[in-house]
Every structure is written in structure tokens, then in C-alpha cells.
Amino acid sequence: MWRRERTGFSGNSSHLRRDSRRTRVVLSMAGIPGLFLFLLLLLICAVGQGRPYGAHWKPTWPTYRLPVVLPQSTLSLAKPDFEAEAKLEVSSSCGPQCHKGTPLPTYEEVKQYLSYETLYANGSRTETQVGIYVLSSGRGESSGKSRRKRQIYGYDSRFSIFGKDFLLNYPFSTSVKLSTGCTGTLVAEKHVLTAAHCIHDGKTYVKGTQKLRVGFLKPKFKDGGRRANDSSSAVPEKMKFQWIRVKRTHVPKGWIKGNANDIGMDYDYALLELKKPHKRKFMKIGVSPPSKQLPGGRIHFSGYDNDRPGNLVYRFCDVKDETYDLLYQQCDAQPGASGSGVYVRMWKRQQQKWERKIIGIFSGHQWVDVNGSPQDFNVAVRITPLKYAQICYWIKGNYLDCREG
């Protein structure tokens, strides 16, 4: 049902500031069944898509009418036991066709999945319930069987990145290492995006999460030292990690067992807030466009694969299939790369420049049954409009700063 309201909502209205100059149309979604998500997807679909290819065509970031995900209530929880073993990859037998055949969640289910737990450095924990709103502004905003797992497909196409001239420069400098063994990506001055399974196994937090640290590659010799200025040296320059403690973490309830649907990979993402700014250039998050709109149909990511200790490993590959929440691809990867930010570079029409954005989080590996034959994929969680609204709010703390995906 629709109703017209002034700016502001029932519930936690302090998050929505009154603005006498504008009136918004608010979609009240309480009680709407599975049809809700279908309607929501129509409302937040990209504006101006389907532009035909031409001689001067550029792959352009779509603009979206984004929903708003806001906290409604917060409860304190008992301290976790931090007894889970860290798993550097997750597996699922539910492939693309399985996902596509899954019934759409209801509004109440989506609210539950997007509610989240926050873990603080002192071990305290809270659970926050959220509300979901769709705003329309008068300003005309843009709108199986056990198998041996493998994640290398044929010839190993990964590239180890050596030398501070590359490692310390964008975009490779945005990749960081978690003390639990995974990879993360800098997405703001104090925030790191990673996979939820890197810190939580779906039941409780993994060992070491209470004292979680994020590692930044630095030259081993602080004064520049030996080989620092010898860019022609064939010997890779030695690097070391400098660590920053994590202040708090956010994990969506969709990942946590007992609340998640049967395909929990959809919510395998988490945000870490550091205790101090990292002072590096970061990569913004963006809503994942359909794979057919990606430049060359390809994605890119860099991570700290376990089979190449101490090395940052870059790769790119084609997207093979997709669902609303997941990207299926065969980028070569090994455990340790989980949590890497999946990104693409596209044209930003408003600023008239090329820009890279994180559109997903590398999650893990799947064996799936395709027409009766086993096939394996590596899987990335897509940043959908709802996930963008949630993660952006975690970062910014103000929905007004999260209106452009």
C-alpha cells in the first residue's frame, strides 16, 4: 500500500531528518508476501540501461533508485565464546539453477536477513533489527558427493604482484590481510569489506576475532634501504605487514545459522571498522550491474592466496552465470583469497571519468550439478541495492550519504 508522508518515519525517526522543502512517497511494505521483493526490484532497477553499443560507447556505471536500510532497535547479547575454527573457504552444492528456483523471500524475511550483529573489541555484542524503505524524491534522483576441492581451472592464470611500485599503488594497495587468514578490501578511511565466514562460521565467531587485526603490506626497510630505489632489480623487494586492530565488526543475520535461508552464501559479507584511519586510497562500493553490462563480461580481484604466502595475487576472468545475489566465475583462486573485493572499472557519467568500484565479495567454491554433470565454480556475493544500502549505512551512519550506488 502507498501513503504520502512528510520526510520522516515512524520508528527510529531520528535517522530521517525533516525537510520541509520536499515530500517523499513512502512504500509501506509491512505484511507484503513474497511479491514484495519482485516489486522492490522493479522500483530500484537501473535507470538508463540497455543503451546500444556504438562507436563511442563506454561501459557506464548505471544509476539506481536505492532503498534505505535503517536500524530500528538494538539489543545487547551475551559475549560469544570465540571457539570456531577459521575456515578460509565455504562450499555449497546449490548452483545457479538451484538459486534461481528458490522462492523469493518475504519482506519480513528480508528484514531478518539484513538485521545484523555487531561485535566490539571488548567482546561485547549487540543485535540490531532494521527497517527497509523505498523513497521517491521530487528532485528526480537517478535511478552432493564429496569431491576434492580445486579452485584452479586449467592453466594457472594468477599474477603475483611484486615491488612496492605496484603493491603500494592503487588498486593493489586496497587489498589487506586479516589475522584470521583471509583477504579484505579498503572501502573507506577506517573500513574493510570482507567475507563473513572469515570471522564467523555461521554459529559463533572464529578464534582470534576478538583481537582481530588487519595487515597492510609495507616495504621491509623503513628508510628505503637496500633495493628500495632499484626499480630494475630482478629480485622481488621484501615486504612486511603492518597491523591495525579492529574496533568493531558487522555481520548480517542472513549469514548466521538459524536465521539464514538454505543458501546462506547470499549473505557471506562483513564490514570491519579499524581503530584508526589507514591513510591509503580506498575503493568505493557500488551496486553490481548485470554481468552483460560489465566491461568484457569480466571481473577482477586480488587476494592473499595461501599457496603463495606473503604474495598479493591478482586475477581476472569472465562471469559464467549469475543470480540476483551471486556471481559464478572460474577465476583461479586458493583459500586465503576469500573476502577479496571483486571490482570492475567503468565510466562515471556524472564526473566524466573512469572509476573502479567493488561490486562483490569473493566467497568460495562450489561443485554444482549442471545438466547431470558436475561442474565447479568460484562464487562471489553481489552487492545488490539492499546490500549496498546496508553496507553504506554501516560506513556513513547517515542514509542521505547512501543515495547513489
Q: Rounded distance, CA 281 to CA 340, Å?
A: 16
Q: Which of 56, 146, 262, 373 is catalytic?
A: 262
H/E element, 316 = strand 312-322
Strand segments, DSSP code E, in 121-212 are 125-136, 159-161, 175-178, 183-188, 191-194
User: Which residues 6+ apart lie within 8 Å of 295 measured at CB?
Assistant: 59, 344, 345, 346
Contact call for residues 345 and 58 (beta carbons, < 8 A): no
Q: Which of 197, 250, 278, 300 is catalytic?
A: 197
**Contacts (Cβ under 8 Å, ≥6 apart) of 117:** 77, 125, 126, 127, 128, 250, 251, 253, 256
| DSSP secondary structure of 167-223 | HTSTTGGGEEEETTS-EEEEEETTEEEE-GGGTB-SSSBBTTSTT-EEEEEEESSTT
Q: Which of these is catalytic: 92, 115, 173, 338?
A: 338
What 3-state DSSP class applies to 392? helix
Active site residue 321: no
Q: Residue 224: CB partners within 8 Å, gap ≥ 6?
A: none
36: helix, strand or coil: helix
Q: Look up 262 and say whether it is catalytic.
A: yes
Tell the residue number behind the cell numbers 567475507, with chain if given: 195
**Phi and psi torsions of 240, nearest 5°:** -140, 165
Report the distance separating Cα 321 and Cα 189, nearest Å: 33
Task: State yes or no: is 197 an active-site residue.
Answer: yes
Active-site residue set? 197, 262, 338
